[in-house]
Amino acid sequence: MMNLNCYLDVNPEVAAAVAAGKPVVALESTIISHGMPYPQNVETALNVEKVIRDNGAVPATIAILGGRLKAGLTPEEIEYLGKTGQAVTKASRRDLPVIVAKGLDGATTVTTTMMIAHMAGIQIFATGGIGGVHRGAETTMDISADLEELANTPVMVVCAGAKSILDLGLTLEYLETHGVPVLGYQTKELPAFYTRRSGFEVDYRIDSPKELAKVFKVQRDLGLKGGILVTNPIPEQYAMNFDVINKAIDEAIAQSVKDGIKGKATTPYLLAKVKDLTGGDSLASNIQLVYNNARLAAQTACEFEKLTGDN
């Protein structure tokens, strides 16, 4: 079987940190190209990397550029993705062979970021929110590849929960069926991206980065397949009102049905519509929750290094 790493370019700083067993945190690039407008997308991406450095870890923003899988981008590459925006392909697992074979650019989703991080030896990944089972999936079968990747790829994903545009109950059921632990950081309630509330419970409450690292180490020691999902609530001062955000989501979903939006276009469409309906408040919340997740991921990566450094 061919070594996938022949398609992979690891930033020298990232490669050195991985080789030395130092803490590294992966970051996705779809949030740069499809998640936010320019220039906030580039400012946020660079600030997220700074948050990770300030908390003792090395950031590795991941993307596909010119058909090469990239683990660790330069500021210039981040600027390029931000300016190019939605003209860059949103690359999930099914897109990888075509994008690489054609030498194209791709912004990585949670799925492809996990895949490339794993290839590069990076074990912890910070993102905004994961994809999941979409509302109405019982007829559309619209289920994010993120969930299948969590079931199969041994990476810890730190997020602000599943995006509240989804069917959160079915998303949790899917993860449970596939044996993915869903942990709440200092909470037993599943956070729902813009809001700390959802009405659904996670599997376990975990109260410190040290404990998160220990759970991840034990999972790896036991040889269990798949990753771990850490749900980290948006900070209280940036959280949006539960009723306000859900009203906006219901309106956005109704409009998406009228407009015939389907498939991979659904999430960017809904997030943009929710931003408009909330007067831009959701964008500010989105930025803050990403910083919060990066901080926790870096702290957990540092604790994980302490636990595994002598091995």
* Cis amide linkage into residue 39, ω under 30° from 0: yes
Tell me the mean pLDDT in the region 33-45: 93
Amino acid type, 309: G
Tell me the mean pLDDT in the region 48-64: 98
Domain that holds residue 76: 4-308
> pLDDT (tens digit, 9 = 90+) per residue, 267-276?
777 777 777 7
148: three-class secondary structure by DSSP: helix
C-alpha 136: how far from chain center: 23
Q: Is 163 one of the annotated active-site residues of the chain? A: yes
- Number of structural domains (the chain) is 1
Q: What is the pLDDT of residue 2?
A: 41
* pTM for this prediction: 0.92
Q: What is the pLDDT of residue 264?
A: 67
Higher per-residue confidence, 278 vs 248: 248
Nearest to 24 by CA among 53, 72, 55, 59: 59
Q: What is the pLDDT of residue 4?
A: 58
1 confidence band (pLDDT: 50, 70, 90): very low
Q: What is the pLDDT of residue 85?
A: 95
> pLDDT (tens digit, 9 = 90+) per residue, 131-189?
999 877 777 788 899 999 999 999 999 999 987 778 999 999 999 999 999 999 999 99
DSSP assignment string, 220-236: HHTT--S-EEEE-PPPG
Cβ count near 230 (within 10 Å): 28
Of the residues 28, 77, 149, 305, only one is catalytic, namely 28
Tokens 């074990």 locate to 123
Q: What is the signed CA dihedral for 142, 147, 151, 152, rounded to 10 degrees?
A: 90
C-alpha 58: how far from chain center: 17
65: three-class secondary structure by DSSP: strand
Of the residues 70, 163, 273, 275, only one is catalytic, namely 163
Q: What is the pLDDT of residue 280?
A: 67
206 confidence band (pLDDT: 50, 70, 90): very high
Nearest to 49 by CA among 284, 297, 280: 297
> pLDDT (tens digit, 9 = 90+) per residue, 64-112?
999 999 999 999 999 999 999 999 999 999 999 999 999 999 999 999 9
90: three-class secondary structure by DSSP: strand
Q: Tell me what percent of the residues of the chain surpass a pLDDT of 70.
A: 96
11 confidence band (pLDDT: 50, 70, 90): very high
CATH code for the domain of 14: 3.40.1790.10
Mean pLDDT of all residues in the chain? Answer: 92
